[in-house]
Copies of this chain bind each other. A is one copy, B any other.
Amino acid sequence: MSLPHAILTALLEKPSSGLELTRRFDRSFGYFWSATHQQIYRELGRLETDGLIRALPAEQPTRGQKKSYEVLPAGRAELARWTAASQDPKPHRDALLLRLRAAAVVGTAGLEADLRRHLELHERQLAEYQEIEKRDFPPGRDGTEDRLRHLVLQAGIDLETFWTQWLRRALADVAELPDGEATRPA
């Protein structure tokens, strides 16, 4: 139940259209919350119906026209309520770790290439976050908002750093394994 709150947060930071939100969720927002454009449009509709946001119609709100939204007081109140409430951590699922555990019983075929692919993805992501840090958080500025947002970005950077290191280690380990079809034959 957090997508609406993610959208409210994004809109409070800057009123946007559906597509702009999609871009932001793909980009910087993505390191803590991701969403497809279909999800976003659907949720924007709900939030508008519920009176938490409203459209800023420039001209006619037909198809093919940009439609920007802003947060209404009720929306801000709802976000504040949600933010103040304590939440239980959601269970995590990691397909890559599961795969490695599965590989321990059915063999490591094909694993190495994919570990390498993941490593590349995480390296690219890390580089991107470091770019953002350099651009958006130069040393010296430390308003409350900046501090908190920097903290969030820092988590993203540290996580990507962790994964690149772990993957390198995993690759090194997998490389010196016998790598049969199955380690414990059927």
- Taking Cβ atoms with an 8 Å cutoff, the residues of A that contact B are 2, 5-6, 8-9, 12-13, 30-34, 73, 76, 79-80, 82-87, 89-111, 113-114, 117-118, 121, 144-145, 147-149, 151-152, 154-156, 158-159, 162, 166, 169-170, 173-174, 177-178, 181-184, 186
Contact = CB atoms under 8 A, between A and B. Distances in A.
A97 B32 contact: yes
Contact of A158 (B33, B82, B154, B162): B162
Q: From A106, A145, A155, A181, name the one whose CB has the most chain B CB atoms within 10 angstroms.
A: A106
Contact of A5 (B6, B82, B98, B108): B98
Chain A interface, >50% SS class: helix
A32 B93 contact: yes
A94 B148 CA distance: 15
Given A80-B107, A170-B151, A33 B113 contact: no
Contact of A33 (B93, B154, B159, B184): B93
Contact of A155 (B110, B113, B152, B166): B166
Given A83-B107, A90-B93, A147-B177, 10 more contacts: A9-B102, A12-B105, A13-B105, A82-B102, A86-B117, A87-B114, A90-B95, A97-B156, A151-B170, A154-B169
Nearest to A145: B104
Q: From A86, A90, A104, A177, name the one whose CB has the most chain B CB atoms within 10 angstroms.
A: A104
Contacts of A73: 186
Contact of A103 (B102, B148, B181): B148
